[in-house]
Homo-oligomer: A and B are copies of this chain.
């Protein structure tokens, strides 16, 4: 018999993969300046530090590190994540922590636990493309909620909660992907209240939190959560290494934790013990805070270079200057189409992600997301110059 696409699960049929990951395939060209990815800088990665730690943890733990582990996570890591989160202002119990394969897996497990086809998930508008894809995988109905320069608007969120009775709302509160926006403290408090009032799980995805280059850290939404409706998604991808795939969820409802653990049992049984132990050791050695201090210095310079590069952009460009994270977001003059412009930009040697990909309902063709963490300062100047030229030539 011939293979036919009718064999696919209905919810998977329309999903064609991440547009961003396909853009990545264009980037092989030598000399390409890429503002497209969301990778940390290679300069922020420390193979020379991680290599001896890897050897050490395997030797120290011995055979059990190669044996089956608990789905609930490597116990020492749960302890060190607990201490890390406490510093971040999250006062949870160790048994509320579930190590995951990045915060990607955290969101996947929540969806697996909660979503029946047709259930509603609220998202910011725009939001992280990977989350949109994950939600689609579970055939949920995505309802975007209006956001502005202080993040998602609580009144709009409440209205959507009333109208759609969603099970889940997905929010990136700090240096949001793609907009770089940080949710204000009043809104954080209000969203925690709304979650409890309406009985909606709020997935607070906070991977950029510690990449702050200016201003003061804000308390997490989770820190205002009295009843347990906020699930916090933490990740070491942007701080230590994305390739190790180590993150954690904080889940306060024991029954929800149990369902996520069961979901993880059949997803991958447990996270590899070696990578869990490496992150644990890295945290226990106190390496994280000085490392963050070092990398934020570099990122700050890169961000400032990019912001400066915008000066050459056409009049009418609205820039969202963030206080941290990895991205700058802009609205170009209304008639610019960043989607059709991409090929020309790539031909000119510079790549980005068209902003439309981050909108659940598309549109917003004049928006653009630019990543600055993955290019050195001189390349950022060069790339911004090239990009502004391509834009101007096509106006």
Tell me, yes or no, whether A71 is within 8 Å of chain B by CB. yes
Contact B54 A42 (CB under 8 A): no
Tell me, yes or no, whether A16 is within 8 Å of chain B by CB. yes
Which residues from chain B contact A112 at a C-beta distance below 8 Å? 9, 12, 137
Tell me, yes or no, whether A164 is within 8 Å of chain B by CB. no
Point out the residue from B18, B21, B47, B137 that lies within 8 Å of A63, measured CB to CB.
Answer: B47
Quick one: CB contact mask for A63-102 with B, threshold 8 Å, 1 for yes?
1111111010000000000000000000000000000111
Tell me, yes or no, whether A108 is within 8 Å of chain B by CB. yes
| Stretch from A192-200, A319-327, A330-338 forming part of the interface with B | A192-200
Contact B269 A104 (CB under 8 A): yes
Question: Which of the listed residues A45, A114, A197, A245 has the most CB atoms from chain B within 10 Å of its own CB?
Answer: A245
A residues 269-303 near B (Cβ < 8 Å) are 269-275, 278
Tell me, yes or no, whether A217 is within 8 Å of chain B by CB. no
Tell me, yes or no, whether A227 is within 8 Å of chain B by CB. yes
Contact B201 A7 (CB under 8 A): yes
Tell me, yes or no, whether A116 is within 8 Å of chain B by CB. yes
A residues 196-245 near B (Cβ < 8 Å) are 196-199, 201, 227-229, 237, 240-245
Quote the shortest CB–CB distance from A7 to chain B (angstroms). Answer: 6
| Stretch from A256-264, A360-368, A384-392 forming part of the interface with B | A256-264
Please count how many residues in chain A sit with their CB below 8 Å of the partner chain's CB atoms: 97
Point out the residue from B253, B261, B266 that lies within 8 Å of A137, measured CB to CB.
Answer: B266
Nearest 9 A/B pairs, CB to CB = A101-B268, A1-B199, A134-B266, A66-B241, A51-B58, A55-B55, A54-B54, A243-B273, A45-B66
Q: A47-B58, A54-B55, A272-B275 provided; 13 other pairs, C-beta below 8 A?
A: A7-B114, A9-B113, A17-B258, A45-B67, A47-B59, A65-B243, A69-B243, A101-B268, A102-B269, A105-B268, A137-B262, A137-B263, A275-B275
A residues with a Cβ closer than 8 A to B are 1-5, 7-12, 15-18, 21, 37, 39-40, 42, 45-48, 50-52, 54-56, 58-59, 61-69, 71, 100-102, 104-105, 107-108, 112-117, 119, 130, 133-134, 137, 167, 196-199, 201, 227-229, 237, 240-246, 253, 255-256, 258-259, 261-263, 265-275, 278
